[in-house]
Chains A and B, each alone.
Chain A
Amino acid sequence: MFTPPNTDQLVPTGGGDLLSQIVSWAFYAIFIIFIFYGQRIQMYIMVREVENSLHKLKYIKDEGRKITIEAIKEIGKPTTDPSPRVDRYLEYFTITPQSMDPAGIVAKLDHLLDVRDYRLKEEVKLMAPSAANDEVQTNNLENTLEAAMALNFIYKVVRHYYIQGKKTLSLYVIMQLQMILPMVMKEAEAYASALKAFAYGQPIGDGAGPLVAAKLMHGYPTRKLPKNCIMATVPLEGRTALIIKAEGPGGNVGKPGDAVEAVIEENEGKIGCLIMIDAGLKLEGEMVGEVAEGVGAAIGGPGVDQYKIEEKLTKYRIPNYAVIVKEDIGDAVSPMRKEINDAVDKVIERVKAVMVERTKEGDKVIIVGVGNSIGVGQ
Chain B
Amino acid sequence: MMKVNQLAKHQNHNQSSTATQKISTYLTLIVLIVMALAVAALLLAITAYATDVVAAGVLAIIGLIALVLSGFMLYQFRRQTVQLKIEIPKVMTTIECTKCGGKTIREFQRGDYVYKELEPCQKCPETKQMITAIYKEVKEKEKTYEV
Contacts and interface: CB of A to CB of B under 8 A. Distances in A.
- A and B bind: yes
Interface of A: 17-19, 22, 52, 55-56, 59-60, 63, 81, 83-84, 189, 192-193, 195-197, 200-203, 211, 214, 218, 248-249, 285, 334-338, 340-341, 375-378
16 contacts: A17-B54, A18-B54, A55-B84, A56-B84, A193-B87, A196-B88, A197-B91, A200-B108, A201-B112, A202-B91, A202-B134, A203-B134, A248-B114, A335-B136, A337-B137, A338-B138
B145 interface: yes
Name, among B54, B57, B115, B138, the residue most crowded by chain A CB atoms within 10 Å (CB to CB).
Answer: B115
B109 to A, nearest CB: 9
Q: Which 8 A-B pairs have the closest CB atoms?
A: A249-B113, A377-B115, A341-B135, A335-B136, A338-B135, A19-B57, A192-B86, A375-B113
A202 B108 contact: yes
A318 B83 CA distance: 50
A19 B84 CA distance: 44
B51 interface: no
A377 B137 contact: no
Given A60-B86, A200-B108, A22 B58 contact: yes
A63 B13 CA distance: 13
Given A17-B54, A52-B80, A202-B112, 19 more contacts: A18-B54, A19-B57, A19-B58, A55-B80, A81-B3, A84-B6, A195-B86, A203-B113, A203-B114, A214-B114, A285-B145, A336-B136, A337-B136, A337-B137, A338-B138, A341-B134, A375-B113, A376-B114, A376-B115
Name, among B80, B108, B113, the residue most crowded by chain A CB atoms within 10 Å (CB to CB).
Answer: B113
A375 B89 contact: no
B74 to A, nearest CB: 15
Interface of B: 2-3, 6, 54, 57-58, 80, 83-84, 86-89, 91, 108, 110-116, 133-138, 145, 147
A201 B111 contact: yes
A334 B89 contact: yes
Nearest to A195: B86
Nearest to A341: B135
A298 B6 CA distance: 46
A340 B113 CA distance: 16
Contact of A59 (B84, B110, B116): B84
Nearest to B116: A377
